[in-house]
């Protein structure tokens, strides 16, 4: 979501005549887009802002902004007091304060011209359309499209509802216009985003749900040239059979589901206020695999939640080993201000123990994914090529598995059929087979 927010801000700054600088030192405007989902992310943002504060003393004309969850949706009074050198504070997904600040610095003639130019551009754009920043046009293969902002399901450990506000679903027309505008600029894959993306439309009386939205976006993608559609992040409570059947039926919607479990012990899940138990999650994984062929399932796990015993943690370890999921995003618990777990629970698992538990999960997950990926060895798979990296092309399978291969020519943004020659837990290597005819004209195969 922060990537999408940064892209929107950059687009708005370019409408004012600004261009991306080659590096931060060369920039006149510097914005730190922050995340506070974990303490380490918040510390990183504050550290970066501290460095910019020192720069501001020697170069007072520099414009410094801070955006995102650290600012939140309420007036960040503590930040204004702690960071007096910051010129602009922006809530998540809202570039307007920076745009207004910069407009106020223009003289009257510049303001009139900018308003005229902006009026022409607004008249040419539909609601929701996005002009990619200049340095991203023609090179961006995959892009993010927010479909629901905020979150109304407050887990006890999560700060997001307090910082991003309640759920607000975007109108279908805006989303479709956003997707079409990206396609016109060369984007081939879109990922529909929400803190709980499955809750799309829940705030709209009699409105469409995510399954309905996927069908509409899929129809637009077919005519616009978008090859792949993904969505994240899901929640076990809102993952319906209707949604899964829609994924299975629509060829451009990828068989890739991200649905966090967070813990494998029922007591810990209840303290997290997740709304399901471990057996319900097991059944959901079985249902997903039953309905969506060749699906890849990703999850999130927190270790060291307040009160988590070693025995409770081992249930998480065993369920991860048992379910053999394709990817697990692992994190150590850290208290977040304003959350229930911070106010009412003691962070009583030592950091050393958290690190040991995290390492145990990393090791079991590496083994599981290595075994899963080994099944691809010698097989042909379709990949979407994203970019060139260290002399090789970087691409992804429909299941979002990373593949590298060597080939002459420009493969960026193309679909290619490749043969897997090596597999590991985090990526695979491949080669292009000899040129042959394909029934699908969208599929590029070369020698």
CATH of the domain at 95: 3.40.50.12160
The answer to whether residue 447 scores a pLDDT higher than 80 is no
Q: How confident is the model at residue 309 (pLDDT cuts 50, 70, 90)?
A: very high
Instruction: Provide the CA 163 distance to its chain's centre, in angstroms.
Output: 17
Instruction: Determine contact, residues 141/187, Cβ cutoff 8 Å.
Output: yes
Structure tokens, 404: 């590298």
Q: Which helix (H) or strand (E) holds 100?
A: helix 96-104
The answer to whether position 443 is within a domain reads: no
The answer to whether position 281 is within a domain reads: yes
Q: What is the pLDDT of residue 78?
A: 83
Spatial CB neighbours of 411, under 8 Å, sequence gap ≥ 6: 385, 393, 395, 444
The answer to whether position 9 is within a domain reads: yes
How are beta strands 63-68 and 29-34 bridged, if at all?
parallel
Instruction: Determine contact, residues 30/65, Cβ cutoff 8 Å.
Output: yes
CATH of the domain at 154: 3.30.750.210
The answer to whether position 283 is within a domain reads: yes
Containing structural domain, residue 418: 380-431
Same domain, residue pair 271 and 210: no
Residue from 379, 309, 321 nearest 350 by CA: 309
Q: What angle do CA 9, 13, 17 make, to 5 degrees?
A: 165
The answer to whether residue 213 scores a pLDDT higher than 90 is yes
pTM of the model: 0.91
First to last CA, the chain: 38
Same domain, residue pair 15 and 111: yes
Q: Which of 343, 374, 405 is the last residue of a domain?
A: 374
Same domain, residue pair 106 and 136: no
The answer to whether position 97 is within a domain reads: yes
Q: Which residues pair with 383 in a beta bridge?
A: 416
Return d(Cα 65, Cα 149) in angstroms, integer.
21
Q: How confident is the model at residue 339 (pLDDT cuts 50, 70, 90)?
A: very high
pLDDT digits (tens, 9 = 90+) for 232-267: 999 999 999 999 999 999 999 999 999 999 999 999
pLDDT digits (tens, 9 = 90+) for 316-329: 999 999 999 999 99
Same domain, residue pair 331 and 318: yes
CATH of the domain at 420: 2.40.50.140
Same domain, residue pair 145 and 241: yes
Phi-psi region of 150 (alpha: psi -120 to 50; beta: other; left: phi over 0): left
What phi and psi values does residue 382 have, to the nearest 5 degrees? -90, 130
The answer to whether position 192 is within a domain reads: yes
Q: What percent of the chain has pLDDT over 70?
A: 93
pLDDT digits (tens, 9 = 90+) for 138-175: 889 999 999 999 999 889 999 888 889 999 999 999 99
Burial of residue 38 (CB within 10 Å: 0-12, 13-18, 19+) is: middle
Return d(Cα 313, Cα 305) in angstroms, integer.
9
Q: Which of 374, 395, 414 is the last residue of a domain?
A: 374
Provide the mean pLDDT of the chain.
92
Spatial CB neighbours of 209, under 8 Å, sequence gap ≥ 6: 200, 201, 202, 242, 243
Place of tokens 């700054």: 13
Return d(Cα 97, Cα 104) in angstroms, integer.
11
CATH of the domain at 304: 3.30.750.200
The answer to whether position 438 is within a domain reads: no
Q: How confident is the model at residue 119 (pLDDT cuts 50, 70, 90)?
A: low
The answer to whether position 222 is within a domain reads: yes
Structure tokens, 331: 């994190």
Same domain, residue pair 109 and 17: yes
Same domain, residue pair 90 and 176: no
Mean per-residue pLDDT, 216-231: 97
Same domain, residue pair 290 and 325: yes
The helix, strand and coil proportions of the chain, stated in percent and rounded to the nearest 5, come to: 40, 20, 40
Q: Which helix (H) or strand (E) holds 33?
A: strand 29-34
> What is the domain count for the chain?
4
Same domain, residue pair 353 and 418: no
Q: What is the pLDDT of residue 117?
A: 62
Return d(Cα 423, Cα 433) in angstroms, integer.
17
Ranges 30-39, 74-83, 240-249, most confident: 240-249
């Amino acid at each position: 979501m922060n990537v999408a927010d940064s892209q929107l801000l950059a687009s708005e700054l370019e409408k004012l005549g600004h261009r991306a600088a080659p590096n931060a030192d060369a920039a006149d405007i510097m914005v730190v887009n922050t995340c506070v989902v974990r303490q380490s992310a918040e510390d990183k943002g504050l550290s970066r802002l501290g460095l910019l504060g020192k720069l501001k003393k020697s170069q007072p004309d520099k414009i410094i902004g801070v955006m995102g969850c650290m600012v939140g949706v309420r007036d960040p009074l503590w930040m204004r007091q702690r960071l007096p050198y910051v010129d602009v504070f922006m809530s998540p997904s809202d570039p307007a304060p920076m745009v207004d600040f910069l407009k106020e610095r223009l003289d009257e003639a510049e303001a009139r011209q900018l308003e005229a130019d902006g009026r022409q551009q607004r008249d040419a754009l539909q609601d929701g359309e996005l002009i990619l920043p200049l340095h991203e046009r023609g090179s961006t293969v995959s892009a993010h499209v927010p479909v629901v902002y905020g979150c109304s399901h407050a887990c006890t450990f999560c700060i997001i509802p307090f910082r991003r506000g309640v759920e607000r679903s975007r109108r279908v027309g805006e989303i479709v216009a956003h997707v079409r505008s990206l396609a016109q600029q060369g984007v081939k894959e879109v990922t529909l985003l929400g803190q709980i993306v499955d809750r799309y439309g829940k705030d709209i009386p009699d409105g469409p749900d995510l399954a309905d939205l996927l069908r509409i976006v899929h129809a637009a993608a077919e005519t616009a040239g978008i090859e792949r559609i993904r969505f994240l992040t899901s929640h076990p409570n809102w993952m319906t059979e209707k949604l899964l059947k829609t994924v299975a039926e629509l060829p451009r919607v990828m068989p890739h589901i991200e649905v966090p479990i967070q813990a494998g012990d029922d007591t810990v899940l209840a303290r997290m206020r997740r709304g399901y138990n471990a057996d319900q999650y097991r059944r959901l994984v079985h249902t997903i695999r039953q309905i969506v062929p060749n699906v890849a399932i990703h999850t999130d796990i927190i270790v060291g939640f307040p009160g988590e015993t070693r025995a409770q943690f081992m249930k998480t370890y065993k369920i991860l080993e048992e379910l053999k999921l394709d990817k697990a995003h692992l994190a150590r618990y850290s208290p977040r201000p304003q959350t229930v777990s911070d106010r009412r629970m003691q962070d009583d698992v030592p950091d050393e123990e958290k690190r040991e538990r995290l390492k145990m999960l990393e090791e079991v997950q590496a083994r599981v994914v290595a075994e899963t990926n080994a099944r691809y060895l010698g097989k042909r798979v379709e990949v979407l090529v994203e970019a060139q990296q260290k002399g090789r092309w970087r691409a992804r399978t429909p299941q979002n598995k990373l593949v590298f291969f060597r080939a002459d020519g420009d493969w960026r943004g193309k679909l290619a059929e490749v043969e897997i020659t090596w597999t590991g837990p985090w990526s695979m290597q491949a080669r292009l087979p000899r040129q042959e005819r394909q029934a699908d004209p969208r599929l590029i195969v070369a020698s």
